[in-house]
Amino acid sequence: MPAASLVPNSARPRPTVAFWALFTWLSLQAIALLAAALRVPFSARFPAPEEQLAMHEMLTVQLIASALLFPILMQCFSTGALVIASAPVMMLLAGLLGAAPEPGALFVACIYPVLWLAGLALWAHILHSPKSQLYGVACATTLVIGGALLAYLDREFGSPTQTFDWAAHGHLGPLLGGITLLETGPSAGRIWIFLGLFLFLSLVGVVARRMLQKRAFRAP
């Protein structure tokens, strides 16, 4: 009988990286990159050449997938670090494939999803029970998709004949902020309103959880 089988399960070292979570994360981004490389049109009036929106597609996939999967992607430090580190690399590849902005704007575009993922990592540390994680996924998904939906409704029923003002809608969630960053550059001030508030509340949540844990530990 092999010696490894004699070791109880509790004594065996656990894997430090969640393989399937990381594989799913990288696969979704690879599909987005492949769709841009194959020039897949996602609408009837999709701009040509299609690969010029590679960064837009990559950012959309990163934000939506991270909102839906962040409790799994951030279940341990090593997995979360790899997830966050891979985001700017995939954005850079998308920028090289498509119409990448200037180096400074490209750098900021690669950092933007990193800040969003860092905030999600903090919330994954705060939310431990399955029920609270489901609430967190629902809130994160609403923040990503809800802002885009509001901008779409404003476009359809507000002033459909006028040019869409990206800078005026950059505060409506991370997705609108990221696309506004790609469309107008990092100088649009409203881009950072939502992201800054999100990171601030994430840090407040971590501090509040630490204080509650210390109070529970000191209680008799």
Each residue's pLDDT tens digit, 103-132: 778 888 899 999 999 999 999 999 989 999
Residues sharing a CB contact under 8 Å with residue 44, sequence separation 6 or more, in sequence order: none
Instruction: Determine if the pTM surpasses 0.75.
Output: yes
Look at residues 82, 107, 80 and name the one whose alpha carbon lies nearest to residue 95: 107
Into how many domains does the chain fold? 1
Range of the domain at 87: 3-218
Amino acid at 120: L
Tens digits of residue pLDDT in 138-188: 999 999 999 888 888 877 776 666 777 777 777 888 998 888 888 887 777
Q: Which of 37-46, 67-76, 189-198, 208-217 has the lowest mean pLDDT?
A: 37-46
2 vs 97, residue with greater confidence: 97
SS3 per-residue string spanning 30-46: HHHHHHHHCCCCCCCCC
pLDDT of residue 58: 94
| Helix extents (H) in the chain | 19-37, 54-73, 77-97, 103-126, 130-157, 173-184, 191-218
**Cβ count near 36 (within 10 Å):** 23
Q: How far apart are CA 172 and CA 174, in angstroms?
A: 7
Residues sharing a CB contact under 8 Å with residue 110, sequence separation 6 or more, in sequence order: 87, 88, 91, 92, 95
Tens digits of residue pLDDT in 6-31: 444 444 455 588 889 999 999 999 99
